[in-house]
């Protein structure tokens, strides 16, 4: 059996291990910390379970099949009607459709020609959306939706990186999973990774905790399933990888705050998956997830998870706990029309949460030294390698197992 080593036992590292062991490799995973899961952690706060990072994944046949094989039961966020309702806050109110009748009509007229308006490589999301869809859909739909996913600045996010796949050639026929939309294991995202690690161990995969070898100490092929900053540090010390390290060092990372709040009742909050806040509405938070509406049974109380920060608000990292709470409660009062005090809170700070999907990232991914790393037996996978979401990471990991160079 050919050997492969993986650095990092977060989501990327463990799903890569799964597809590589299936492709017949003898896999060893090195994890520098004392636990698996990386950013994904489901914390038991006593009164609720809450997530530190991803709270769900866009389901796919690959993910569903994987979960069935390792014995993880998935729940769809849309299982309950409330879980299907998503809101955008605009003109002082949480709305399921934030555009006015006239704005909707204008958007409707533009849709048939959308396919012909593919973004150019240099175009930002703002420029593309204004050109292709118009001002109101950009400000009230596209910008809030993308800030909820990418936490980026629409004036800098690269349209081609985000939407390029939608415009590229005829679409392959896609199989649909049984459960559509966002899914998660009943007891939280970390249970998926724990079950996966246990399954992999039974299949002969070695997962070494507290293990962070230098690149000189690991054989090739090697999969680096690490935060980009850590990839840069390791490549900078490896022979012939300095150029790739310098290119990757240009990837900008964005800060995020994830704040769980517990209320005894819903306190007038809209019943739904969550709400995104359009900019210019006097609300600092990026969005809020109504966690126990979506994932019932995790808490008997009303649990909200507020997300702040991103490219246009790096200052949130300098706020103390009291300032964070006060900011959120002021935002919440605007959303619900009522001041309410949570009985419990939990604040998670992520100084480098996500990569910024800008033109610089596109350049980095197209950089010759970065693209030729596989020639040296080094493969990169993570949220900065072209697909931000976990479902994209699954697709990339699946490709690793089929990669000709790799095999």
Ligand X SMILES: Cc1cc2nc3c(=O)[nH]c(=O)nc-3n(C[C@H](O)[C@H](O)[C@H](O)COP(=O)(O)OP(=O)(O)OC[C@H]3O[C@@H](n4cnc5c(N)ncnc54)[C@H](O)[C@@H]3O)c2cc1C
**Which region, judged by CB under 6 A, interacts with ligand X, from 63-71, 87-95, 224-232, 311-319?**
224-232
Which residue do the tokens 């650095």 mark? 7
User: Binding string, 321-360, against ligand X, x = CB under 6 A?
Assistant: -----------------------------x--x-------
181 sits near ligand X (criterion: CB under 6 A): no
Classify each residue of 223-241 as buried b or exposed e, where b means 16 or more C-beta atoms within 10 Å of its C-beta: bbbbbbebbbebbeebeeb
225 sits near ligand X (criterion: CB under 6 A): yes
| Rg of the chain taking only CA atoms, in angstroms | 22
Residues 6+ apart with CB under 8 A from 313: 284, 286
Q: CA–CA separation, 74 vs 76, rounded Å?
A: 7
Count, in order, helices (H) and strands (E) of the chain.
15, 17
CB of 285 to ligand X, least distance (A): 12
Q: CA–CA separation, 344 vs 171, rounded Å?
A: 47
40 vs 72 by CB, closer to ligand X: 40
256 sits near ligand X (criterion: CB under 6 A): yes
> Given strand 344-355, what is the order of strands in its sheet?
93-95, 86-90, 274-277, 287-290, 302-309, 253-263, 344-355
Candidates 4, 12, 187, 298; binder of ligand X (CB under 6 A) is 12
- Phi first, then psi, for residue 330 (nearest 5°) are -70, -45
CB of 102 to ligand X, least distance (A): 33
**Which region, judged by CB under 6 A, interacts with ligand X, from 74-82, 225-233, 267-275, 315-323?**
225-233
230 vs 363 by CB, closer to ligand X: 230
CB of 107 to ligand X, least distance (A): 26
Of 363, 270, 353, the C-alpha closest to 313 is 353
255 sits near ligand X (criterion: CB under 6 A): no
- Cα-to-chain-centroid distance, residue 130: 25
**Which region, judged by CB under 6 A, interacts with ligand X, from 53-61, 247-255, 324-332, 397-405?**
53-61
263 vs 350 by CB, closer to ligand X: 350
Classify each residue of 279-294 as buried b or exposed e, where b means 16 or more C-beta atoms within 10 Å of its C-beta: bebebbbbbbbbbbbb
Residues 26-45, interacting with ligand X (CB under 6 A): 30-33, 38-40
**Which region, judged by CB under 6 A, interacts with ligand X, from 86-94, 116-124, 270-278, 383-391?**
383-391
120 vs 403 by CB, closer to ligand X: 403
274 sits near ligand X (criterion: CB under 6 A): no
DSSP letter at 140? I
Would you tell me which residues interact with ligand X (CB under 6 A)? 7-13, 30-33, 38-40, 53-57, 212, 225-227, 230, 256, 258, 307, 350, 353, 382-383, 389-390
């Amino acid at each position: 059996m050919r050997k492969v080593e993986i650095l990092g036992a977060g989501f990327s590292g463990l799903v890569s291990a799964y597809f590589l062991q299936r492709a017949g490799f003898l896999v060893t995973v090195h994890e520098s910390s004392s636990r698996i899961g990386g950013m994904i952690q489901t914390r038991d706060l006593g009164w609720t379970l809450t997530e530190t990072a991803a709270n769900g994944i866009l389901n796919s046949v690959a993910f569903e099949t994987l979960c069935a094989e390792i014995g993880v039961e998935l729940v769809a966020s849309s299982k309950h009607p409330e879980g299907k309702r998503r809101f955008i806050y605009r003109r002082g109110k949480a709305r399921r459709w934030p555009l006015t009748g006239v704005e909707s009509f204008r958007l409707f007229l533009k849709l048939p020609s959308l396919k012909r308006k593919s973004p150019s490589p240099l175009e930002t999301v703002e420029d593309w959306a204004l050109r292709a869809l118009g001002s109101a859909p950009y400000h009230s739909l596209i910008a809030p939706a993308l800030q909820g996913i990418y936490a980026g600045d629409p004036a800098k996010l690269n349209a081609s990186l985000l939407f390029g796949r939608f415009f590229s050639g005829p679409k392959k026929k896609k199989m649909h999973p049984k459960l559509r939309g966002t899914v998660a294991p009943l007891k939280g995202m970390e249970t998926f990774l724990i079950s996966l690690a246990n399954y992999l161990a039974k299949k002969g995969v070695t997962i070494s905790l507290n293990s962070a070898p230098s690149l000189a100490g690991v054989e090739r092929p090697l999969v680096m399933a690490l935060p980009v900053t850590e990839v840069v540090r390791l490549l900078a010390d490896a022979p012939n990888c300095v150029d790739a390290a310098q290119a990757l060092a240009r990837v900008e990372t964005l800060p995020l705050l994830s704040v769980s709040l517990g209320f005894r009742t819903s306190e007038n909050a809209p019943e739904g998956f969550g709400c995104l806040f359009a900019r210019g509405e006097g609300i600092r938070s990026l969005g809020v997830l109504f966690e126990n509406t979506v994932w019932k049974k995790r808490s008997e109380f009303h649990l909200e998870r507020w997300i702040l920060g991103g490219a246009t608000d790096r200052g949130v990292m300098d706020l103390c706990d009291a300032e964070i709470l006060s900011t959120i409660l002021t935002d919440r009062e605007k959303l619900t029309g009522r001041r309410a005090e949570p009985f419990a809170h939990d604040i998670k700070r992520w100084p480098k949460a996500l990569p910024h999907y800008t033109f610089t990232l596109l350049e980095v991914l197209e950089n010759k030294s970065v693209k030729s790393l596989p020639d040296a037996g080094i493969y990169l996978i993570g949220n900065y390698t072209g697909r931000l979401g976990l479902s994209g990471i699954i697709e990339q990991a699946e490709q690793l197992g089929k990669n000709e160079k790799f095999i």
